[in-house]
Amino acid sequence: MSVEFDYSKLRGRIKEILGTETEFAKRLNLSTVSVSARLNNKVGFSEKEILSCCEILKIPVKSVIEYFFIQKLKKT
């Protein structure tokens, strides 16, 4: 059983700061497909990518957990 993370807060921050996930992908030097895979729990974010995301989106390091490590609630 794999853990899935809720990236809704991260998606909101991307929209607030950059407007689009496409612009976010450009800033991270990743393809839009790669960013989409990460935001849809197909591929995990590396530690380096998380730090880059925080820098690009002006997320304080102390807030990393709430943007990257909140587990999705399973529907029963």
Query: CA torsion sign, 31 to 37 to 39 to 40?
Result: positive
Q: Percent of the chain at pLDDT above 90?
A: 89
Which of these, 1, 27, 30, 33, lies nearest to 14 by C-alpha position?
27
- 42: amino acid identity, one letter: K
Domains delineated in the chain: 8-68 (1.10.260)
Band the pLDDT of 73: cuts 50, 70, 90.
confident
The 10s digit of each residue's pLDDT in 34-69 is 999 999 999 999 999 999 999 999 999 999 999 999
Q: Is the pTM of this model over 0.95?
A: no
Q: Residue 2's pLDDT is what?
A: 77
Reported confidence tier of residue 76, pLDDT bands at 50, 70, 90: low
pLDDT-derived band at 3, boundaries 50, 70, 90: confident
